[in-house]
Amino acid sequence: MDNLTIFYLSLLAVVAVWLLQVLRQAYFTSLRSIPGPWYTPFTALPLKLSALAGKRIFYIHDLHQKYGPIVRVGPDEIACASPAGLKEINKVPSFPKSQWYFRQAGQPRHGVFTMVDNRTHQRRRKMLYKGFGQGFLRENWEGRLREQIEAAVMRIEEEAKIHADGEVDCLKWWTCMTADISAMLFFGEPFGMLKTGEEPEFIKVVAKTMQGSIVRADFPWLYEILKRIPTENFGRIFRASSYVLEFATPAVLASKKEGGEANLFATMIANAEKDDEQLDDYDVRIEAANLIIAGSDTTANTLTYLIWAVLQRPALQKALEDEVDKLPADFRDADVEKLPLLGAVIEETLRLYGAAPSTLPRTVPRGGTSLGDSKYFLPEGTTVGCQSYTLHRDPRLFPDPEKFDHTRWLPGAPEFSEDARIAFSPWGGGARICLGIHIAKMELRLATVLFFRRNKGAKVSPSTTPESMEFQNYFLIAPISHRCMIQLKQ
């Protein structure tokens, strides 16, 4: 038998083994009975292509509308739109995160957002948590957060005065605000975006990171090819993680300072030392970079959709203006938190326009599960996740779900069902709930109050349409036009 024959026989054997594995996964596991398109037992390529196109949430949502609350979206991946399933995924100990997070981050060491092992994650989260507590933030950072928020509202007003029609892009300035706040908290001082109105190099690199992360997570072989193309543009997209970590050096320096120039990591490191834990300089870089990425566009986009939703409803706008106008001049976040209409508007915004409504991939733990009230058994190792985009639009949980209806959250409104309370998950849930939830809520409350106290009668610009505000979904959502033009009274 010559060498060429041996080569072809070996190749045939490899193909045969691969084909048997595909057929086994498709037809000889318990996943075979789960409904879905004919092709998903063999490939997840349509799902991955929808992610590249910024339409993943819509692809999965459409499958749920056609096939029900449990649908197969890939050979070993299941999408769930069941409150009972979400409850089981988030129970303690929760399902571990999928390796998808680590692949997407592209970092050589895990941070709190990408840690797969639950115990490791719990230790790191405990180390970080004190700095993110509501009481700690109000005592140590509320004043400085408010300074940045007031500066953002002033910049919106200043830019509006330049134009005869009072037009200004509020998304631009909310993004500057949240980026400056994140840099102040994690780097020790703001980027200065509110002063210049321009993106610093770090934020430009972060934007490239988000573009490359989808390719890295879903097409690792393609990513390995593209990152080797020796051009600056490709480098910033496909080698961005190393740039991000390099730019995070100020976080390390600030963590070693005391007093006003310190950042949240100074508190975290002090807590770690008390518990005999370690957070070295590289850990600080990873966590700072991840936290700034997580804390900037998320809140800015949600706040933009809140302003847009309210300005389209003049009666609601007038009522909100009246409510926030009654606050004393020296109001605090604790005062704002008690406003019922503001709270209702924020909750309804989070239901329809929460910044991260995509699937949060988890891995079925050892022993497998039937996933709450589902009749389908999922073997261990299966990737499963729920997306709040679909859960928040379930008419059985939220009547007339596509309608922005803040009254459903007001005191005296009919109580939500237990399933609706479980399904409402704009911050995630369980032990993996958003670490920065109190920072984001404080920003949303204070920015909304300050904007509507100072800018009564603002309007949506004619150039801002439902089409321009449609979602683009690269894990987070953002207006497809990447702007939101409003008009202030001159």
Whole-number Å distance between alpha carbons of 458 and 175: 19
Other beta carbons within 10 Å of 22? 14
User: CA 430, CA 204: separation in Å to the nearest integer?
Assistant: 33
Rounded to whole angstroms, how far apart are CA atoms 54 and 66? 21
Residue 433 in tokens: 């709930």
Q: Over the range 40-63, which residues count as b (16 or more CB within 10 Å of their CB) and which as e?
A: bbeebeebbebbeebbbbbbbbeb
How far from the centroid of its chain's Cα atoms is residue 335's Cα? Answer: 27
> From CA 469, how far away is CA 304, in angstroms rounded?
10
Q: Residue 154 class from Cβ within 10 Å (0-12 exposed, 13-18 middle, 19+ buried)?
A: middle
Question: Distance between CA 196 and CA 226 in Å, rounded?
Answer: 34
Contact 409, 104 (CB under 8 A): no
- What 3-state class would DSSP assign to 362? strand
Contact (Cβ atoms closer than 8 angstroms) between residue 376 and residue 370: yes
Distance CA(152)–CA(155), nearest Å, equals: 5
490 near 177, Cβ under 8 Å?
no
E strands along 362-417, which residues?
A: 362-363, 383-386
- Check whether 434 is labelled as a binding-site residue: yes
Among the listed residues 195, 183, 172, the one whose alpha carbon sits nearest the alpha carbon of residue 144: 183
DSSP codes of every residue in 191-258: -SHHHH-S--HHHHHHHHHHHHHHHHHH-HHHHHHHTTS-SHHHHHHHSHHHHHHHHTHHHHHHHT--
Binding site feature residues = 434
Binding site feature residues for heme = 434
